[in-house]
Amino acid sequence: MKTPSSTRREFLIVAATIGTVLALGSFATPAMAQDAKLKIGIIGSGNVGAAIGRVWANAGHPVMFASRNLEHDKKLAADIGRNASAGTPKEAATFADVLLLAVPYGALPDLGKALGESIKGKVLIDACNPFPQRDGEIATRAREQGAGKVSAELLPGARIVRAFNAIGAARMGQVHEEPGRVGMPIAGDDKKAIEVASRLIKEIGFEPVLVGGLDSAGKYLMPGTPLAGEHSPEEIRKIAAGLKG
C-alpha cells in the first residue's frame, strides 16, 4: 500500500519529467536555440550569396546554395567543402530553417510564385536590391513604395528581414575578421525573425542595427540612400534617427 509520502514523491518525479519535456520542447525549433546550427538556404549564389554562405558554412551551419545554374552551385559547394551543398531553389527553401535571397530584384515576382508554400513561416533575409535599369517596372515600384513593402507583397507568408543591402559584396566575406566594427542596418516587423537574422549577421562579423519596420525603414535599405555604404553601428543609429518614415 502506498503511503502519502511515496505518492507525493511519485507526483514530484512525474511533474519534473513533464517539466523537462516541456523545456526541451520549447527549444525544439532551431531558431529558438542561440547555439543551434541553422540550416540555411541561399537562393542566388553570385558574389553576395557566395561570400555570405561561405562564412556561415565555415561557422558550422549547413548551407544549401541554389540558383538558375545548378552546376555552378555544385562547384561552389565543392570548393567550400564541409557543410555546403547545392540544390534547386525549391529544394533550398524546403531544406532551410532560414533563407537568404540574393537575386536580381526583377526575379522576385516569379520566384515568390515558384517557392509558394515552402517559404511560409520561414525567416527570410532579403538582400535583393532594385535597379530599374536592370530589373524593370518592379524595381521602379520598389524604389517608389519601398523595397521592404514590395518584397513582403512578392514573398507572402515569409518572415522578412531586409539586410545586406548597402555594403559591397567584396566586404561580405571579410568583416568577420574584425567583428563588430562595421554596422549592418536591418529592417523587419517580426521580433523573432529579427533575433534570428541578427544572430547570423553577427556571425558574418557585422553589428546589426534595427532601423525600423519593413514599410517605414525598409525603403532606405538600398544603394543610393543615406544608409548605403560602410558605417559604424553608432553612425547608422545617427543616420537612421534623421530619416523620415
**pLDDT at residue 9, as a whole number:** 46
**Residue carrying C-alpha cell 552551385:** 73
Of 87, 33, 84, which is closest to residue 55 (Cα–Cα)?
84
**pLDDT at residue 168, as a whole number:** 75
Residue 200 is assigned to a structural domain of this protein: yes
Residue 15 is assigned to a structural domain of this protein: no
Residue 16 is assigned to a structural domain of this protein: no
Gap between the Cα atoms of 161 and 193, Å rounded:
7
pTM metric for this prediction: 0.84
DSSP symbol at 217: T
**pLDDT at residue 83, as a whole number:** 96
Q: For 120-150, how does the pLDDT look when each residue is reduced to its tens digit (9 = 90+)?
A: 999 999 999 999 999 999 999 999 999 999 9
Residue 67 is assigned to a structural domain of this protein: yes
Gap between the Cα atoms of 80 and 6, Å rounded:
59
Residue 2 is assigned to a structural domain of this protein: no
Contacts of residue 196, Cβ cutoff 8 Å, sequence gap at least 6: 31, 38, 98, 123
Chain centroid to CA 15: 38
54, 83 contact by CB (below 8 A): no
Gap between the Cα atoms of 178 and 158, Å rounded:
31
Gap between the Cα atoms of 119 and 216, Å rounded:
23
State the 10-residue block means of pLDDT for the chain, 245 residues long: 46 38 38 76 95 93 97 97 97 97 97 95 96 96 94 97 85 68 93 97 92 91 90 94 77
Residue 114 is assigned to a structural domain of this protein: yes
**pLDDT at residue 169, as a whole number:** 74
Joined grid coordinates for residue 208 = 546589426
What is the percent of the chain with per-residue pLDDT over 70, rounded to a whole number? 82
Gap between the Cα atoms of 36 and 60, Å rounded:
10
* Domain CATH number, residue 133: 3.40.50.720
DSSP symbol at 231: -
**pLDDT at residue 12, as a whole number:** 39
**pLDDT at residue 171, as a whole number:** 76
Of 50, 44, 47, 116, which is closest to residue 80 (Cα–Cα)?
50
Question: How are strands ordered across the β-sheet holding 40-43?
Answer: 84-86, 63-66, 40-43, 98-101, 123-126, 159-162, 183-188, 207-212
Q: How many domains does the chain have?
A: 1
Q: For 54-92, how does the pLDDT look when each residue is reduced to its tens digit (9 = 90+)?
A: 999 999 999 999 999 999 999 999 999 999 999 999 999
Of 231, 136, 124, which is closest to residue 185 (Cα–Cα)?
231
Range of the domain at 154: 36-241
Give the strand pairing for 84-86 and 63-66. Answer: parallel
Residue 12 is assigned to a structural domain of this protein: no
Residue 9 is assigned to a structural domain of this protein: no
**pLDDT at residue 8, as a whole number:** 44
